[in-house]
A and B are shown apart, each in its own frame.
Chain A
Amino acid sequence: MAVKSIISRPVYGTLSPQPGSDHLLIADAEGAAAILDLAKSAPADFFAEAEIVFIPRDTGEKYIAALKALQPARFYEGPSIAAALPRLRQRLSTAHMGLRLYLTGTEGLIGQAMQAALEAGIDHKSIQTEQRGSLARRVQCVHCKGITEDVTTQPARCSHCGLMLLVRDHYSRRIAAFQGVCINAEDPSQVPPMEEMFK
């Protein structure tokens, strides 16, 4: 569970059905369970006006049948977040007011889908979010600006420039990433031990 350590660190809620005419639910991995939980309190006709976008990641087939059983108007299963994003942007570009967005799963999924939503003019406070499953972080190296996905360790190695990064709680909604700052700039020979912090 995310804790508000500094002001930019996002915290997440629990999905709940909102009034609207078009419900877009986007989940990765264990986020599927949050959609199934939402369904328990949703009005009977909720999924008739809903689209579910699901990226199973390491959950494989575990949730697919249960999500389809909700009988959403549309169901899309994608191989990766990156593959789902252009589709999401296209969908938002032609949508109307009345669309409500529900994001659940990893922070990487929530952050990147929210980034696309902000570009489409949706206020971040208008979006329902719920973090589920892995606490892995999407991290931007402040030195080379490269982004490393699914960071679970502290410190972490930048996948672009190779620097050892302290993963901070400092978060950018615009970039959809936490900030990583070189942890041993004074003496690169000092390599602190890596611990698995964001499982």
Chain B
Amino acid sequence: MSTGTTKLDVTVADVVPVNELVTRFHFRPTDGGLLPTFSGGAHVVVEMRDGDTTRLNPYSLMSSPLDTAEYTISVRRDDAGRGGSLFMHRAVKPGDRMVVSYPVNLFSLDLRAKKHLMIAGGIGITPFMAQTAQLAATSGNFELHYACRTASLFTYGDTLAERYGRRIHLYHDDRGEKIELTRLLSSQPLGTHLYVCGPAPMIDWVRRTAAEAGWPPETVHFEHFSAPQPGVPFDVELAVSGKTIHVGEQQSLLEAIEAAGVDPPYLCRGGVCGQCETNVIASDGKFLHNDHWLTEEEHRSGRKIMPCVSRFEGRSLVLER
């Protein structure tokens, strides 16, 4: 059960290959009209019906928040992932009917900021596509620094440069171009907020460097693109519903709970929003915590787990579900 979010029936209006790894999908409401408004940084959870498997993957909306005739997402193909992105790339065609959640924003702009400094890595560019469109329309002050492996994988690099000119700075890894972060951070006017979306090591680097440079935590915003990791299968007892479930190698604990007909709350399915936090009643084994919600102390306590991204290895696990 997605907390407070109603589902939207949409039809795939277009499928556009962007480069060798990324494809863009356009969704329009099946019954016509406009989609609900959203703000830059919001995501939707896309339901993928793949035979017997249902996957629910979050994707940032990358279209302009000023145009709600359609939602667009960009999906990077992950050949080693759990199959959601491969399904989107291979199976989804224009005209298909799909279900997406209402938009939820866990990575919103702080509009009190005097300036927005954005740092993107790879496919982490997608929320910034919407945020830059939103800011450009309101004369917001922003600057985007975007790093990618190669020119051919520079998803929307040209589009952004064309739209916003000198506000966009592109860095090619294969040309040895690096974001000079320390200098960049020290030259920002007071009242600047920092936003980072990309691979986990990049987010960690930016957050650490900003903290050392005296950027207060309130000014540093980040979005982890963490998908559930595959792992060793395990069994779980759900004490409240009286069920024992099996979590498959490619399945998340949350997905296994849902497949058993139990409906825990969720929003992000990526370990950040806190909705699916679940109490552990008993355990004999090791927790593999992958979330960014629980504190380190809670991770060590073995009394809570975020079933959307975290796993378990051991003899037995009993959850309050």
Contacts and interface: CB of A to CB of B under 8 A. Distances in A.
Residue in A22, A93, A123, A125 with the greatest tally of chain B CB atoms within 10 Å: A123
B191 to A, nearest CB: 2
A121 B113 CA distance: 6
Contacts of A142: none
B215 A121 contact: no
A92 interface: yes
B189 interface: yes
Contact of A126 (B186, B187, B213, B218): B218
Interface stretch (A1-9, A60-68, A95-103, A182-190): A95-103
Interface in A73-122: 92-93, 95-100, 120-122
A93 B187 CA distance: 14
B218 A97 contact: no
A72 to B, nearest CB: 17
Given A22-B214, A98-B214, A121-B192, 12 more contacts: A19-B212, A19-B214, A21-B186, A96-B186, A96-B188, A96-B189, A97-B189, A97-B214, A98-B186, A99-B214, A121-B191, A126-B217
Contact of B215 (A92, A97, A120): A97
A122 B191 contact: yes
B114 interface: yes
A97 B188 contact: yes
B80 interface: no
Interface of B: 112-114, 185-192, 211-219
Contacts of A95: 189-190
A186 to B, nearest CB: 41
Contacts of A20: 213-214
A18 interface: yes
Contact of A120 (B185, B191, B212, B219): B191
Contacts of B185: 97-98
Given A95-B190, A122-B191, A19 B112 contact: no
Contacts of A98: 185-186, 213-215
Nearest to A99: B190
Contacts of B217: 126
23 contacts: A18-B214, A19-B213, A20-B213, A21-B213, A22-B214, A92-B190, A93-B190, A96-B190, A97-B189, A97-B215, A98-B213, A98-B215, A100-B216, A120-B114, A120-B191, A121-B112, A121-B190, A121-B191, A121-B192, A122-B191, A123-B112, A126-B217, A126-B218
Contact of A100 (B114, B212, B214): B214
Interface size class of A (residues with CB under 8 A): 10 to 19
A122 B190 CA distance: 7
A144 B216 CA distance: 38
A126 B219 contact: yes
A97 B114 contact: no
Contacts of B189: 95-97
Contacts of A97: 185-186, 188-190, 192, 213-215, 219
A116 to B, nearest CB: 11
A20 to B, nearest CB: 3
A96 B192 CA distance: 9
A97 B191 CA distance: 7
Contacts of B186: 21, 96-98
Contacts of B112: 121, 123
Contacts of A21: 186, 213-214
A21 B187 CA distance: 11
B51 to A, nearest CB: 49
Nearest to B210: A97
Contacts of B192: 97, 121
B37 to A, nearest CB: 26
B187 A96 contact: yes
A19 B211 contact: yes
A35 B86 CA distance: 59
A97 B211 CA distance: 11
A126 B185 CA distance: 17
Nearest to A21: B214
Q: Top 5 A-B pairs ranked by shortest CB distance?
A: A121-B191, A20-B214, A126-B216, A123-B218, A98-B214
Contacts of B190: 92-93, 95-97, 99, 120-122
